[in-house]
Amino acid sequence: MKPFFIISSLTTIYLLPGCSMLPSAKALDANKQLAVPGQFDASPAPASASEVAKGLKSLFSDSQLNGYVSKALRSNPDLKLSLARLEEAGFNTRKAYAPTVPSLTANASAIGGAGFVPSGGQYSASLDSQWELDVWGRIKSGISASKQSQAAIAADYASARESIAAQTMQACFSLIASERLLNLSERRLSSFKETVSLVNRRFESGTGNLSDVDLARTDVENTKAQVEGRKNSRDQAARRLAALTGSYPKANISASTWPSLRRGVPAGVPSDVMLKRPDIHAAYIRILAADSRVKVAHRDLYPSFTLTASGGQRSNQLKRIADSNFNIWSIAANLSAPILDGGSRKAELGAANARAKQALASYQSTVLNALEEVENALGSETYLLSQERSYQNGLDAARSAETRTQQNYENGLVEILTLLDAQRRSFNTEELLINTTALRYQNRVSLALALGKGL
């Protein structure tokens, strides 16, 4: 039987069972799997996408905040890790191209008799080349999978940069809020100490009683404890911000002034603006990579064809080996086809198909999570703004009431409990206002991040 006939027969017999297992192009209809509405539910009025902030850095014009963000983008160790993974992916892509180029190996040897350097020995040198013919496109599919994985990791890196920038901004706002709350507690302590002095004066003049003094001192001691807790919270917020910027987590950095938040959020933000988010792009690219790996697994069922070539020279003289051309050549084409492998390759094909399904489900989950993040951020923007305005109005009223109540207490018109209650109400309302303002700043960052506006 001729060799060509043997090869053809083996190829035909081996390939017939596998032809029905070609993968489907899951990536082509991935976006059709999700029904994305024309605009977000939390933003009912129509508007154009150009009204949305251009990026995270354009949200706030604050030099200190931007300085922290720039330092984080340069020095954050998590970003360095993500960049190293991207570099590794680049080398993996280059490695995937290697089978498309023939490999060349050089060999040299000397065979002699009793002497270490034989005078009558035999010298030989050879060059061996091997190249797999990509008849079925298996190598090409592997290259495609590697390139797509590299693109997905590049999108992961872009997503990591945006995430670190957002976390740094939010950590800065937490530090601002912590410092303002600490300042509020210190002012509260000073105010309660003044109230103790006022109560003592009334007690000494015979218009007050000892119980009033004890009540006022109780608020002083409770506020002292609160000040210590606020100092601890402030130091922890500072350490968090320092760590994000790649610095030793010291507590000696500060931030106390809210940046400008004049830019508003337009109504009717179209929902397709977030489809360019790097995490969504990465999830989509991974569908393509998974499909390419299904093709690799399927082509692995086919026989592989390898072309080998060897060239060499033998001589009793080393100089003749060095000066002469290779004049002994052999060329052979080899076919290898697994006949019985216990179902290993077909199992790998099934596993590759399952991984492609996982990639599609992961993409759908990523998009749904992104939509939820945007809806939540848009809804929170409306509610937080309303809360902030109400707390500001309440604070103005509480301060006015506190001033009048203190005058009435000094004139003996109200009890000490009324004065202490007015003071507590004023400080508690201001605390709520600070916390709500911090949440609104942090939510604005979350919204820009969720919309995929980039840096």
Q: Is 346 exposed, middle or buried (0-12, 13-18, 19+ CB in 10 A)?
A: middle
Of residues 388 and 300, more confidently modeled:
388
pLDDT higher than threshold 80 for residue 39: no
pLDDT of residue 43: 63
Paired tokens of 223:
């506020």
d(CA 371, CA 360): 17
CA max distance for the chain: 128
Single out the residue of 451, 444, 452 nearest to residue 173, CA to CA: 444
What value does the mean pLDDT take over residues 328-337? 64
Work out the angle at residue 354's Cα, subtended by the Cα atoms of residues 351 and 356, and round it to the nearest 5 degrees. 115
Paired tokens of 89:
């992916």
pLDDT of residue 108: 67
Of residues 204 and 356, more confidently modeled:
356
Paired tokens of 359:
């990639």
Q: What amino acid is encoded at 20 in this protein?
A: S
The DSSP result for 103-128, as a single string, is EEEEEEEEE-SSSSS-SS-EEEEEEE
pLDDT higher than threshold 80 for residue 191: yes
Greatest mean pLDDT range, 41-45, 140-144, 300-304: 140-144
CATH 1.20.1600.10 is held by the domain 3-58+152-303+350-450: yes
The secondary element (H helix, E strand) that includes residue 312 is strand 304-315
pLDDT, tens digit, 9 for 90 and up, residues 257-285: 898 876 666 666 666 777 778 888 888 88
**Of the ranges 137-141, 176-180, 192-196, 263-267, which one carries the lowest mean pLDDT score?**
263-267
The model's confidence at residue 20, banded by pLDDT at 50, 70 and 90, is very low
Q: What mean pLDDT, rounded, does the chain reach? A: 79
**Of the ranges 185-189, 219-223, 348-352, which one carries the lowest mean pLDDT score?**
348-352
pLDDT, tens digit, 9 for 90 and up, residues 50-107: 344 577 877 787 889 999 999 999 999 999 999 899 998 888 888 888 777 777 777 7
pLDDT of residue 26: 47
What value does the mean pLDDT take over residues 435-452? 91
Of residues 119 and 331, more confidently modeled:
331
What value does the mean pLDDT take over residues 292-317? 71
Residue 206 is classified by DSSP as T
pLDDT higher than threshold 60 for residue 322: no
The model's confidence at residue 417, banded by pLDDT at 50, 70 and 90, is confident
pLDDT higher than threshold 90 for residue 168: yes
pLDDT higher than threshold 70 for residue 332: no
pLDDT, tens digit, 9 for 90 and up, residues 230-244: 999 999 999 999 999
| Residue 256 CB neighbour total at 10 angstroms | 13
pLDDT, tens digit, 9 for 90 and up, residues 119-153: 556 666 667 777 666 667 777 888 888 888 888 89
